[in-house]
Amino acid sequence: MKGPKFCPNCATALILKHTKDRDRLICPAESCGYVHWNNPIPVVAAVVECGDDVVLVRSIGWPAGWYGLVTGFLEQGEDVVEGVKREVKEETGLEPEEVNFIGIYPFFRMNQILICYHVKVPDGEIKIDTSELEGYKRVPITKVRPWRAGTGIALRDWLRTKGIEAEFMEFGKANK
């Protein structure tokens, strides 16, 4: 189990113990009682529609050919819609014009809850945030294909609202 090695309250080394029907990291110090609940992290995600295309981005460090939706961590005290607008603006340089909720999806591998939206932006020049992204590409809505994990499920669900039943692509194979 991933998590902290030491208690944030008393600095005692945490131990793995079965409690509340799961294995959890707990502090063994009798006077402390800290439990690391390992709650999922909220992440906002956007299917960015630009003209007749969906904008996909490639994060720094991703394998060549891997692109995904615009995503980012929700900040403390931030409204979810404002968070997704902020991420789209930061990562594409384009100002969101319309924001519509798609759904909430678990992403177990990263212990995240994905709060996904469709965000329409003006058809303009994309200026990616090079501190987070290596690249982007525009894929025609009729040609974009979802993937079987995380934000790919949200993309599939959004495509269905457009009457498109797209087949899932396999990881490592680029949308053309």
pTM of the full structure: 0.87
Residues of the chain short of pLDDT 70, as ranges, are: 1, 171-176
- Going from N- to C-terminal start, the domains of the chain cover 1-38, 41-161
pLDDT the model gives residue 116: 98
- Asked whether the CA dihedral 17, 20, 4, 1 is positive or negative, the reply is positive
75-122 pLDDT tens trace: 999 999 999 999 999 999 999 999 999 999 999 989 999 999 999 999
Residue whose C-alpha is closest to residue 52's, from 114, 102, 120? 120
According to CATH, the superfamily of the domain at 41-161 is Nucleoside Triphosphate Pyrophosphohydrolase (3.90.79.10)
d(CA 130, CA 165): 33
pLDDT the model gives residue 172: 54
- Which pair of structure tokens corresponds to residue 109? 């591998």
d(CA 18, CA 126): 49
pLDDT the model gives residue 16: 95
Q: Measure the N-to-C terminal CA separation of the chain; round to a whole number of Å.
A: 38
